[in-house]
Amino acid sequence: LSSLSPLDLELVGIIVETMSLSRSSSHLALSLYKTVCETRSSGTAGMSETDIMWVSEFERVMTESAARYGMFGMVESSFRNSRNLPLPFSSRFFYVPDCDPDVERAQLIRLTMPGSGKRSETKKYKQYYWKPVGK
């Protein structure tokens, strides 16, 4: 983790802590951001430009940490909008303690995380919401 900036290192720690205290095993960057705001500040109302910037930072830090160390996994949404573009902030992330370079944190998080890691089936995107059939 030494190649990450001090802010990125702090964000990684906050993200891992937030994931470990959640009942869910995978998370949208937006839901992680909202949880952090709710637990660490007075809360938010709507998605301001600042909110969008921070959610983008969460995704960037998790994506970079995934690429460098493999400590976050990502499940990309296959859903596309009318212009065939993915929805912003639609990827889900999960923590992989075995790949965390901070061994002490990984050991502690393993004790607090629900379940014993991601099942291979939950690492795949599932489309649960369907468009209504036209009449």
123: its two tokens: 């690492």
**Residue 46 confidence class, pLDDT cut points 50, 70, 90:** low
In a domain, 133, yes or no: no
Helix boundaries (H) for 6-131: 6-20, 29-40, 49-69, 103-112
Domain assignment present for residue 81? The answer is yes
Give the DSSP H or E segment for 28: strand 27-28
* Residue 125 included in any domain: no
Greatest mean pLDDT range, 28-42, 48-62, 83-97: 48-62
More confident residue, 116 or 105: 105
Q: Which residues contact 4 (CB under 8 A, 6 or more apart)?
A: 12, 61, 64, 65, 68
Tokens representing 79 are 């859903």
Domain that holds residue 36: 6-118
Domain-located, residue 52: yes
**H or E element that contains 117:** none
Mean predicted confidence (pLDDT) in 91-98: 86
Tally of domains in the chain? 1
